[in-house]
C-alpha cells in the first residue's frame, strides 16, 4: 500500500496526475466524540477515489470536512498545493469543489434548468444593473453559461425534463439533477455523498455509467462515499476504508478486498 | 351611464390605488420571510424609522440632539442646512442598508437554525428597539414630509371624466398623491421582480429561500444574501414610509400600517410575490367597495375590520393563501 502514486496511466487509458487534495492528520470532534481520528489520505488528479465503511464510520463527516461544512480541530487540508485555512462552505465551493448530498438538497421550487443554472453562479461577474436589463457583458455571460448548462443536461440525459419543477421528479432523477448542478460548476473536485443510496439496480447502473463518463470525458476528479461494496470496487481507482473514525485500509480495490482488517470490519469479528 | 355606477368605478380605482400600497408593505414581509423564514414584525417600524430619518436629514436635524444636549449641556438642534430631497433619499437608503447589516450581524447571525417562534420574538424586540432609537435620534413630534409631492384631488381627471355621466355626476375624484404612490409602487414592484428573476443576486436569493445547504454548496454566502434581503426590505419600507408619511405626516402611529399587511399576507400567501400584489389589490378594492355598498347599512367604519374578516374566511378555506405553497408531508 503506497500513500501517493507517481502520475500514471490506468489500464483503460485515463491519465492520473499529481496530488490534488491532501488531507493530513485530520481529527474531528463533536463534543467528546471523535468522529474522525487522525486520518491522512490524498486524492490525485483525474482519479475516482472512494471512501467506504460501515454505518457511523465517519465517511460523511470526512466529506463534510473536505467541503467545508465542518472544520476539523486538528490536521491540515491541502488543496492544489496550498494549505487551506478554515473556510465556510460557500468559500470552498468557490475554490472549485462541488458536491451532492446524501438526502438530496435541490431547490424544489425551481425548474431543472434553473437548478442547474445555480451551479454557474460563481461564473457570473457582470454588474447587477447590466444583468437586470440583460445587456452587454451580462448577455454574453448568460449565453456562455447557458451553453455549459445545456451541455451538462445533454450529457446526463435530462433534456426531456428541463422545464419540470424539481419537486415533481422521482427520486432517481432528482439525484441526477443534483449531479448536473454540481457538474455545471465545472469543479476541480467533485464530491458525491452516497450517489446510489436508495436506488434500484437499474438506476444504480445508470448512475455508475454517468460517474465513469464524467470522469472520462471531463477528466473530473471524483471522491465518493458509498455503501454498496460491489459498486465501489467496480468504479474506483483507489479506496479508503473507515471504521469507527479510523482509517483501516487504503489502496486499490484488490488490495483493500484482501485486507484482513477490512474483512473483519465488514463481516464482524469477535473481540476477545 | 348612471352616476351610481360611475361612482362605483371611482371607488374601485381608489381601492386599487390603496391596494398597491398595501401590496408594497406586504412585499417587505414576503422578501424576508421567503429568504430566511423570519416573519419580520419590525417591518412597520422600519417604514416609520425610514420616514423619520428622511425628514431628519432633509431638515438638517442633529441626530440624538436631545441626548447630546442632556449629557453635555449644549443647545444644538439643527445643523442649519437643508439637504435636497434626492440626496436625502440616497442617504436614508444608506442608513437602511447599514441597519440591515447590523440586524444580520448582531442579531440573526447568532440565531441561525433556531425555532421560527424565537426568530419572531427577536423581530418583536427589534421593533421596539428601533422605535426607541427613532425617538431618541429624531424626537417624537409629528413631522411633515415636504418632498414636493402633489397634494389634493386631480382637477384634470375630474374635468376629463365629467361628461361621462348625467347632471348629478361631477367626474372622478382621484387623489394626486395616491396616483404618484401607485406609479412609484408599480415601478418598485417591477424592479424587484426583474431583480429576483434575472440577476445573479436574485437567483441566489431564490436559491437561499429554497434550501440553505444546497445554496452553500453552489458558493452562495447566506450572510450576504440575508443582508441583501433586509436591505431590500429597508428600501420597500422607505418607499412605504414616504408615501404614508406624505399623506398623514410622519408620526409614530405610522408603524401600525404594517398591521394592514397581515390580512394581505393571509390572502396572498406568505411566500409569494405575486400573492402579495394580488392580495393587496383584493383587500384595497374589497374594503373600499364594501364601505361604499354595505357601509351605509351597518353604520360605516367597515374599513377597520373588513380586511381581517376577509382574511379569516380565507384562512378557513385556503390556509396557504391564494399563491402560497401547499406543504404536503409524505408519510
* Non-local CB neighbours of B258 within 8 Å, separated by 6+ positions: B25, B29, B41, B43, B44, B45, B47
**How would you classify residue A9: left for phi > 0, otherwise alpha for psi between -120 and 50, otherwise beta?**
beta
CA of A147: how far to CAs of A118, A123, A182, A236, in Å? 14, 13, 15, 30
Higher pLDDT, residue B331 or A251 = A251
The separation between CA A58 and the C-alpha centre of its own chain, rounded to angstroms, equals 16
Residues in chain A with CB shorter than 8 Å from the CB of B210 are 106-110
Q: Mark yes or no for CB contact A105/B220 under 8 Å.
A: no
**pLDDT on residue B268:** 87
Q: Mark yes or no for CB contact B217/A110 under 8 Å.
A: no
Least Cα separation, residue B45 to chain A (angstroms): 29
Provide the pLDDT confidence category of residue A272 given band limits of 50, 70 and 90: low
Return the SS3 of B329.
Answer: coil
Q: For residue range A214-235, what is the model confidence (pLDDT) as tens digits?
A: 999 889 999 999 877 788 888 9
Provide the pLDDT confidence category of residue A99 given band limits of 50, 70 and 90: very high
CA of A116: how far to CAs of A145, A178, A262, B221, in Å? 10, 8, 38, 18
B331 found inside a domain: no
Q: Mark yes or no for CB contact B199/A128 under 8 Å.
A: yes
CA B278/CA B65 separation, integer angstroms: 43
Q: Report which DSSP code applies to A82.
A: E
Q: Mark yes or no for CB contact B199/A131 under 8 Å.
A: yes
**How large is the ipTM?**
0.86
Q: What backbone phi and psi angles, to 5 degrees, belong to A35?
A: -80, -35
Cβ atoms of A99 and A193 within 8 Å: the answer is: yes
The average pLDDT across B34-55 equals 91
CA B234/CA B98 separation, integer angstroms: 10
**pLDDT on residue B286:** 93
B299 found inside a domain: no
Ordered by where they begin, the domains of chain A are 7-96+187-272 (3.40.50.300), 112-186 (no CATH)
Please provide the DSSP assignment of B164-203 as one string: GS-TT------BHHHHHHHHHHHHHHHHHHHHHHHSHHHH
Q: For residue range B99-119, what is the model confidence (pLDDT) as tens digits?
A: 999 999 999 989 887 888 999
**pLDDT on residue A1:** 43
B133 found inside a domain: yes
The average pLDDT across A3-28 equals 85
Nearest to A90 among B206, B211, B221 (CB): B221
B70 found inside a domain: yes
Give pTM, 2 decimals: 0.85
B73 found inside a domain: yes
- Residue A236, pLDDT above cutoff 80: yes
- Residue A41, pLDDT above cutoff 90: yes
The radius of gyration of chain A's CA atoms, rounded to the nearest angstrom, is: 19
* Domain containing residue B224: 33-261
Please provide the DSSP assignment of B300-315 as one string: S-GGGTHHHHHHHHHH
B137 found inside a domain: yes
Cβ atoms of B254 and B48 within 8 Å: the answer is: yes
Please provide the DSSP assignment of A12-29 as one string: TSPEE-SEEEEEEEEEEE
Q: Mark yes or no for CB contact A89/B325 under 8 Å.
A: no
**pLDDT on residue B218:** 93
User: A120: burial class by Cβ within 10 Å (0-12, 13-18, 19+)?
Assistant: buried
Least Cα separation, residue B214 to chain A (angstroms): 5
Whole-angstrom distance between the N-terminal and C-terminal Cα of chain A?
A: 28
Q: For residue A193, give the nearest of A98, A258, A115 by alpha carbon.
A: A98
B168 found inside a domain: yes
Residues in chain B with CB shorter than 8 Å from the CB of A105 are 211, 213-214, 217
Q: For residue range A166-178, what is the model confidence (pLDDT) as tens digits?
A: 988 998 899 999 9
Please provide the DSSP assignment of B49-99 as one string: HHHHHHHHHHTTBPTTHHHHHHHH-----B-S----HHHHHHHHHHHHHHH
Residues in chain B with CB shorter than 8 Å from the CB of A133 are 194
Please provide the DSSP assignment of A95-141 as one string: HTEEE--TT----TTSBHHHHHHHTTGGG--S-HHHHHHT-THHHHH
Nearest to A90 among B203, B211, B220 (CB): B220
- Stated as kind and residue range, the H or E segment containing A224 is strand A221-225
The average pLDDT across A85-112 equals 92
Q: How many structural domains is chain B composed of?
A: 1
CA B252/CA B94 separation, integer angstroms: 22
CA A200/CA A183 separation, integer angstroms: 23
Amino acid at each position: 500500500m503506497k500513500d501517493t502514486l507517481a502520475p500514471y496511466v490506468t489500464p483503460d487509458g485515463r491519465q492520473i496526475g499529481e496530488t490534488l487534495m491532501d488531507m493530513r492528520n485530520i481529527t474531528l470532534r463533536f463534543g467528546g466524540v471523535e468522529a474522525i481520528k487522525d486520518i491522512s489520505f490524498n486524492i490525485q488528479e483525474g482519479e475516482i477515489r472512494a471512501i467506504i465503511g460501515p454505518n457511523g464510520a465517519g465517511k460523511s463527516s470526512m466529506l463534510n470536512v473536505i467541503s467545508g461544512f465542518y472544520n476539523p480541530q486538528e490536521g491540515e487540508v491541502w488543496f492544489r498545493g496550498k494549505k487551506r485555512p478554515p473556510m465556510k462552505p460557500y468559500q470552498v465551493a468557490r475554490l472549485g469543489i462541488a458536491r451532492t448530498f446524501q438526502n438530496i438538497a435541490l431547490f424544489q421550487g425551481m425548474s431543472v434548468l434553473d437548478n442547474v443554472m445555480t451551479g454557474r453562479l460563481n461564473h457570473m461577474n457582470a454588474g447587477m444593473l447590466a444583468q437586470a436589463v440583460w445587456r452587454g457583458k451580462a448577455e454574453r455571460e448568460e449565453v456562455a453559461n447557458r451553453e455549459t448548462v445545456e451541455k451538462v443536461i445533454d450529457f446526463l440525459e435530462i433534456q426531456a425534463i428541463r422545464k419540470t419543477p424539481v419537486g415533481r421528479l422521482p427520486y432517481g432523477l432528482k439525484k441526477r439533477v443534483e449531479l448536473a448542478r454540481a457538474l455545471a460548476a465545472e469543479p476541480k473536485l467533485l464530491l458525491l455523498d452516497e450517489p446510489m443510496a436508495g436506488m434500484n439496480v437499474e438506476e444504480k447502473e445508470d448512475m455508475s455509467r454517468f460517474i465513469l463518463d464524467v470522469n472520462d470525458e471531463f477528466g473530473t476528479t471524483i471522491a465518493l462515499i458509498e455503501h454498496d461494496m460491489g459498486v465501489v470496487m467496480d468504479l474506483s481507482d483507489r479506496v479508503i476504508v473507515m471504521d469507527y473514525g479510523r482509517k483501516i485500509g487504503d489502496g486499490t480495490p484488490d488490495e483493500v478486498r484482501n485486507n484482513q482488517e477490512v474483512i473483519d470490519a465488514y463481516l464482524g469479528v469477535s473481540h476477545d | 351611464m348612471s352616476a351610481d355606477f360611475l361612482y362605483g368605478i371611482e371607488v374601485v380605482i381608489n381601492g386599487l390605488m390603496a391596494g398597491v400600497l398595501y401590496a408594497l408593505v406586504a412585499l417587505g414581509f414576503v422578501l424576508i420571510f421567503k429568504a430566511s423564514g423570519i416573519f419580520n414584525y419590525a417591518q412597520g417600524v422600519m417604514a416609520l424609522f425610514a420616514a423619520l430619518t428622511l425628514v431628519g436629514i432633509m431638515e438638517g436635524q442633529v441626530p440624538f440632539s436631545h441626548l447630546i444636549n442632556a449629557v453635555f449641556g449644549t443647545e444644538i438642534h439643527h445643523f442649519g442646512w437643508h439637504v435636497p430631497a434626492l440626496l436625502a433619499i440616497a442617504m436614508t437608503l444608506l442608513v437602511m442598508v447599514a441597519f440591515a447589516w447590523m440586524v444580520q450581524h448582531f442579531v440573526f447571525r447568532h440565531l441561525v437554525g433556531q425555532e421560527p417562534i424565537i426568530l419572531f420574538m427577536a423581530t418583536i424586540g427589534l421593533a421596539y428597539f428601533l422605535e426607541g432609537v427613532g425617538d431618541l435620534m429624531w424626537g417624537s413630534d409629528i413631522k411633515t414630509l415636504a418632498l414636493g409631492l402633489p397634494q389634493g384631488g386631480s382637477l384634470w381627471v375630474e374635468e376629463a371624466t365629467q361628461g361621462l355621466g348625467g347632471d348629478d355626476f361631477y367626474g372622478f375624484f382621484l387623489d394626486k398623491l395616491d396616483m404618484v404612490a401607485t406609479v412609484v409602487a408599480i415601478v418598485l414592484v417591477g424592479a424587484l421582480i426583474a431583480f429576483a428573476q434575472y440577476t445573479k443576486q436574485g437567483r441566489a436569493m431564490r436559491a437561499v429561500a429554497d434550501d440553505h445547504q444546497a445554496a452553500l454548496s453552489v458558493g452562495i454566502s447566506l450572510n450576504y444574501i440575508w443582508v441583501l434581503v433586509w436591505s431590500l426590505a429597508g428600501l420597500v419600507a422607505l418607499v412605504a414610509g414616504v408615501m404614508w408619511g406624505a399623506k398623514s405626516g410622519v408620526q409614530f402611529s405610522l408603524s401600525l400600517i404594517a398591521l394592514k399587511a397581515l390580512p394581505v399576507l393571509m390572502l396572498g400567501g406568505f411566500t409569494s410575490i405575486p400573492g402579495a400584489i394580488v392580495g393587496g389589490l383584493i383587500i384595497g378594492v374589497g374594503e373600499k367597495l364594501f364601505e361604499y355598498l354595505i357601509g351605509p347599512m351597518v353604520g360605516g367604519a367597515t374599513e377597520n375590520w373588513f380586511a381581517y374578516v376577509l382574511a379569516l374566511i380565507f384562512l378557513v378555506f385556503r390556509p396557504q393563501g391564494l399563491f402560497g405553497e401547499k406543504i404536503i408531508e409524505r408519510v
